[in-house]
Structure 1
């Protein structure tokens, strides 16, 4: 294992970069390896103090850790009493990348990516913890999918944790992906209702855009075609306070005069591309259903199958247009150039049946690590009822249910981290 350290300062922060070699498969420590990257951040003037460490586990899957110059409100609050460790989970950021380029030459790409779930991430974190501070446990703060990984951590290596904090990240422990997406579609319907209640004129405008896309071959500045169903995926912005209104500000500049009548503006199309393209985070699409897979039942493109139970999302059915949310579909691997080379890999993962369990239910029931979780009543991404059921199955877990925060509450309001620290 290597640890190449580089330290630098900016904006009142002292940052130290760490790169570690870890096994691809932790059950085969002498087998093929990859690298993981982590950035340790401490407030300037406090770098000489013996501060406890807090590990930030990013949402995703497939999202790199936040960068210190653009991190949410939680970071400045955490730096008052912690050294914060920002881990680029395997396959993301400066860790060994997993994308259409690096996976293209791998005949075993699907098998390779089975090692990129929460269990492997936790084992990477344990190697990093031991490298940085030996046997001393640390605090973990898991946001969204990072909360899923935190629950895996509590079952896999609780000795590594001083306490665990979770925000918007208590998944079902035993439910199938179908259960997850069935609940997600219901929440996405409600999010559409909230959006159009705020911006009632956008309903007509969104339907104008969809009609235009249905009748024309519209290309984004990247050259990719914008289909109606891809346009509908802009509803993913409804899930966070920081992005809820962004669709409105795209739609208000959707059309400009063209030679033969109104056409979609470059400003609009470029803004859409920045949301719908998965080039910066392909693992988000490839592994999205795999993070729920356990036991012998495949996910089998759950979001696509369950969508048939919700005809209100069928843009061709004649009803009002609705936007979809955090769902990944097989057709995305035909329309998004960043995903096209990964289509066979994604399909193989969707039909895989030998997934190991992600959560140790017995150890969670006997948990002794202090755990606090923020559950958001209006969370579009993580089901409130699933979260509370899971909370009841983890011994000693204390919840705070917020009626007002959305999924990114900890990034928007430093008071969320305050609340979790006091609960734990």
Structure 2
């Protein structure tokens, strides 16, 4: 049943679609996709072109906007917008520790999750597009992993696109996950150094917390086991425009005095478990490294293996000296499936995905080189999550792609500066600048 309702300045309509789990077997098992249509209240009855939004991730549902937040207000000047919960996320058929046992054991679960990458998401989009637009091509806006999906879209079904807009999401066309993380760790170190330059008092605070975690067994109220390696992953915050400030405010009230001596405060523990838990987005942990897999090489816990090549990230060695503790960034590690109660039942499934080979190619360099779809991409200089050099190499490989390279924003530019970012991308795609 279609449901329509209102928020300030907009009219929303819920849509549900049934698509094949495996698009190569259209008569086989199906899953459900959810999407939310948004249109400006004063343009409800108009015949407007469509813009499809593909969220970052993988594993996150589309933004739950209220009214015309972030980039949405600018989009609604020109488009009717579809906010898609990609397969397995949001209100689409869920994939988590509660539902995956319905598939069977770990092997069956891993086979199922192997169908949740960009190639399947693009085919989902093409399956629902005729039902949404009547067959007309639409403009796609892809943020981060959504940009990876958009490049896959250009590779496999460009006829479905009127234009492609990408923010912080131009992937390497051929890098293995190892290459991605070898480029990432030095970038993370630069971001951490910049954080400590802004907040030098955090050097001692971070070392003190890390020392406490090395000498105490800390289990958060949710059951999450907070190790020093888990604490270091809070560096993922440094990829957003306000992340350094958020990390600082988190560290400044970490300890309280108790009859048994200093202890991590309840307030600190509550915030940390909210930041570290994968309960709301387990797909991110399960398939994150597979978004870089395109050949017979397994990912084999790439971020964990490559981290060993950068010993400065070893907390125990750091605390034995006087160097600042290094946080880490957007990485997934096998120990997360021991620490996080939302992931523990899925440990064997994750191991099978990490060992998997025979991944299908996600991108078609020849087709991208012959591209005729207007494409514009915002590339955030020294982006914590997506390597700038990889992005620019891909930009050169896509015929007609226009880039806007900026250090005004971090990876979340489409949120922090949404109207301006989207306006610039539209102007580039339309050849107005």
Normalised by the length of structure 1, the TM-score is 0.98
The answer to whether structure 1 residue 53 and structure 2 residue 58 are counterparts is: no
Give the drift of 1:70.
Answer: 7.9
Are the structure 2 counterparts of residues 57 and 358 from structure 1 closer, same or farther at C-alpha, using a change threshold of 3 Å?
same
Q: Which residue of 1 aligns with 2:424?
A: 419
Deviation larger for 188-197 or 253-262: 253-262
Greater helix fraction, Structure 1 or Structure 2: 2
Q: Which residue of 2 aligns with 1:153?
A: 153
Q: Distance in 1 between matches of 2:114 and 2:157?
A: 20
Q: Pairwise CA RMSD of aligned residues?
A: 1.1
SS of equivalent residue, structure 1 residue 316: helix
Give the drift of 1:224.
Answer: 2.4
SS of equivalent residue, structure 2 residue 111: helix
Q: Distance in 1 between matches of 2:67 and 2:392?
A: 31
Give the drift of 1:332.
Answer: 0.5
Q: Distance in 2 between matches of 1:191 and 1:86?
A: 31
Q: Deviations over 1:251-271 (max 9, x none)?
A: 111111111221111101101
Q: Which residue of 2 aligns with 1:40?
A: 37
Q: Which residue of 1 aligns with 2:93?
A: 96
Q: Deviations over 1:353-376 (max 9, x none)?
A: 110000011110100000000001
Are the structure 2 counterparts of residues 70 and 43 from structure 1 closer, same or farther at C-alpha, using a change threshold of 3 Å?
closer
**Is the CA contact (8 Å cut-off) linking 1:104 and 1:341 kept in structure 2?**
no
Q: Which residue of 2 aligns with 1:380?
A: 384
Are the structure 2 counterparts of residues 221 and 193 from structure 1 closer, same or farther at C-alpha, using a change threshold of 3 Å?
same
Are the structure 2 counterparts of residues 341 and 209 from structure 1 closer, same or farther at C-alpha, using a change threshold of 3 Å?
same
Are the structure 2 counterparts of residues 346 and 257 from structure 1 closer, same or farther at C-alpha, using a change threshold of 3 Å?
same
**Is the CA contact (8 Å cut-off) linking 2:7 and 2:67 kept in structure 1?**
no
Q: Distance in 2 between matches of 1:117 and 1:72?
A: 28
SS of equivalent residue, structure 1 residue 123: helix
The answer to whether structure 1 residue 242 and structure 2 residue 242 are counterparts is: yes
Q: Deviations over 1:230-282 (max 9, x none)?
A: 11110010001133311111111111111122111110110111111111100
Q: Distance in 2 between matches of 1:189 and 1:33?
A: 44
Q: Distance in 2 between matches of 1:356 and 1:219?
A: 40
SS of equivalent residue, structure 1 residue 347: helix
**Is the CA contact (8 Å cut-off) linking 2:223 and 2:340 kept in structure 1?**
no
SS of equivalent residue, structure 1 residue 244: helix
Q: Which residue of 1 aligns with 2:20?
A: 23
Q: Distance in 1 between matches of 2:194 and 2:172?
A: 25
SS of equivalent residue, structure 1 residue 73: coil
Q: Which residue of 2 aligns with 1:130?
A: 130
Q: Which residue of 2 aligns with 1:352?
A: 356
SS of equivalent residue, structure 1 residue 104: helix
Mapping for residues 387-402 of structure 1, pairs under 5 Å = 387-402=391-406
Q: Deviations over 1:283-333 (max 9, x none)?
A: 001011000000111111100100011111100113431111000001111
Normalised by the length of structure 2, the TM-score is 0.96
**Is the CA contact (8 Å cut-off) linking 2:8 and 2:67 kept in structure 1?**
no
Structure 2, gaps ≥5 residues long: none
Give the drift of 1:129.
Answer: 1.1
The answer to whether structure 1 residue 260 and structure 2 residue 264 are counterparts is: no
Q: Which residue of 1 aligns with 2:328?
A: 324
Q: Distance in 2 between matches of 1:120 and 1:68?
A: 25
**What is the number of residues matched between the two proteins?**
421
Q: Which residue of 2 aligns with 1:362?
A: 366
**Is the CA contact (8 Å cut-off) linking 2:210 and 2:228 kept in structure 1?**
yes
Deviation larger for 65-74 or 291-300: 65-74
Q: Deviations over 1:84-119 (max 9, x none)?
A: 100000000000000011112423000001110001
Q: Which residue of 2 aligns with 1:112?
A: 112
